[in-house]
Amino acid sequence: MARARRPDDEDDDDFDDRPRRPRGRRADDDRGRPPPPSNAPKILLIIGGVFVALTLICGGVALYIYNSIAKGINQVQQDMHQKVQQNLDEMREEEKNADKPKATAAVSAFFQEVRGDRLAAAYQMTSSDYRKRVPETEFGELVAANAKNLKSGHLNVVPDVFAPNKGTTYAYEIWVGFATANVTAVNENGKWVIDRFTIANR
């Protein structure tokens, strides 16, 4: 009677031609196969793309902010230039139509006549009220008594800087030599004339 076959009989059977089942993959079976592809390049590519996208977005935002600020500054400069130019035009127009320069010009013309000994012409440049108060002879005596001071040095007719440009009366204190001339100019019927003329030693 034949006995049952035991597992260890396989090692003793030299003629067993049945295919043997693999007991496990050996390490040397993978030596000839290429390694699996790495994901590192893909990760680096994704990171680089995100970095480039963020750089472009930040650069665009910065450029927009810069352009907005530059546009605002340019607009402010244009507005300031227009405002300054408008103020200058208004000042020129106001000075052109102002009373103070006209009164100053009348006083200067009056002194030019006095210093040139053209007393008759200078007297006619006074107001009607002045001529009622001061006769022409008295006017001539005043000029003659102060002729040296009146003709001495440079005559500088400067109006009061605090006086308004618009007005009907302007007072002047003018140094003539060692004396001081006090002059008042008034607007009489649209013409600037001298309403006061006195001289006193300093």
Annotate 9-33 with DSSP letters as a single string.
HHHH-TT--SPPPP----GGGGTTS
Count of C-beta atoms within a 10 Å radius of residue 26: 9
pLDDT digits (tens, 9 = 90+) for 129-170: 999 999 999 999 999 999 999 988 788 888 777 878 889 999
> Same domain for 93 and 106?
no
Euclidean distance between CA atoms 177 and 42, whole angstroms:
99
> Same domain for 185 and 173?
yes
Q: Which two tokens stand for residue 154?
A: 């440079």
> Same domain for 69 and 137?
no
User: 22: alpha, beta or left, given left = phi > 0 and alpha = psi -120 to 50?
Assistant: beta
pLDDT of residue 132: 97
pLDDT of residue 74: 85
- Asked if residue 154 is part of any domain, the answer here is yes
194 close to 127: Cβ distance less than 8 angstroms: yes
Q: Which 3 state secondary structure label does DSSP give 8?
A: coil
- Asked if residue 25 is part of any domain, the answer here is no
Structural domains of the chain, count: 2
> Same domain for 188 and 125?
yes
pLDDT digits (tens, 9 = 90+) for 88-105: 776 666 655 589 999 999
- Asked if residue 155 is part of any domain, the answer here is yes
> Same domain for 132 and 50?
no
Count of C-beta atoms within a 10 Å radius of residue 34: 6
> Same domain for 165 and 114?
yes
- Asked if residue 11 is part of any domain, the answer here is no
- Asked if residue 194 is part of any domain, the answer here is yes
- Asked if residue 16 is part of any domain, the answer here is no
Domain ranges, residue 73: 46-97
pLDDT of residue 46: 84
Element (H, E) at 183: strand 179-188
Euclidean distance between CA atoms 182 and 184, whole angstroms:
7
Instruction: Report, as ranges of residue numbers, the positions in the chain whose pLDDT lies below 70.
Output: 1-38, 90-97
The enclosing domain of 123 has a CATH number of 3.10.450.100
